[in-house]
Structure 1
Amino acid sequence: MEAQHNEAALAGPAPRLDLSLAGPETTWLRAYFDAVRRAQKRTDLALRVAVEVEIVRPDGWVAFPADLGELEAISISLAGVPLPAGLTPPERVRGLIRAGELRASEVTELVVDATVNAVERGSRYAPTQLARPLGVLAALGIDEAELDEHAIRRLVDACRTARVVVEVSEAWRTPSLRLARALAAAGVPLVAASDTADASQLGRWRYVRAVQGVVDWVSGGTPR
């Protein structure tokens, strides 16, 4: 895609996902659905009803809300490490690594396995985007460069096979340039994501443009 087309895809009017984190205990979905439907009548933007859901188990189980009926898209993310005992915050996992109860290599394998499994599982239910891929590794103090090419290829292949769109996060600076190159080379669609709650930061693309500079941008997702 030519550079000017990339600029238009990122900066011009485009469909957007209206995303909020949801789970099995979420009680506000009906009000949320209604609010988005009302907004659709008052804007020229093409709005879709979507939520962000977390990966919570090593097998890729995603904490879906009870009612998926009106969702038009989902964005899946991993904010902790899905240990057998449950989803564990990064700071707790760092402590386990320091204490010798876990090895960093075991943790990275868990993160990759859970993400791959979630991509395959989530895409069965709704059009799916992968948010902040492997971003939890930075929170764990683990350099993504420690991942071998086989792990990167597994994730890329899963995204391509499941037709999942990958979000390029401005705030989290994910995926890494290495992973972004591999995704783009495999034809996986990439889409800009601000990941900010500050309206003044919307559309201020710095990391996203850095990614554009090193990959052939593959359009097809929904900027948010």
Structure 2
Amino acid sequence: MLLAVGTATSAAAAPTDTVRYTFDGSFVLADVTGNGHDLSPVSRNGGAFGTVPHNGGKALVFPTPCHNEPCPRIALRAPTTAELNPGRRPIRYGASVRLAADQTTKGENIMQKGYSIRGSQYKLQVDGLAGRPSCVFVDDRRLAIHAAISNVGVADDRWHVLECRRTGSRLSILVDGLIRGRATLPAGLSVSNHIPFSIGGKGSFTDNDQFQGMLDDVWVEIS
């Protein structure tokens, strides 16, 4: 379901989403902003997503944990576009997630644009057995990973709203509207690459950081 992102003081100052997926309607992978960043699945070994009711609409369900290869894998990708590259500009992005304690792994991708080893990156993930979410940035010139890690976990089989906020050198992660972690980014850090925006995993290959829970209301806002 579509949720408000912030409160503007005037119509002229109202932020606009660069991309948003509510997973409702007849085409659940549509970008509801009308900007054309619709998703397409890439999968392997029978990887698929399902839908479940959530807040009067639908949410996505990703493959359950698999410990014996070959495992089902799937990611949802939007076509490559510079519109989803923030460069040095402020950016906010987030999602609603539901993850049980037995669905955690060393790393699960909620969304990402780019890779940490090349091309720069921004990312929202849930890592470790405690299921602690984090926001990640990597510069397009220096490959150091910078992360704001939440001090609380979300793997309790309940819905949680996650948000990453980057303004200048400040990076914050919010869980259910509260700041739960911060990091300082290098001055001038820029994210600009030709890699597709993806949800639920890096791709369909073996080490794809597969998301294994439920996901709804994915959005990105670049100022």
Scaled by the length of structure 1, what TM-score is found? 0.34
Higher Rg: 1
Question: Which of the two has greater helix per residue?
Answer: 1
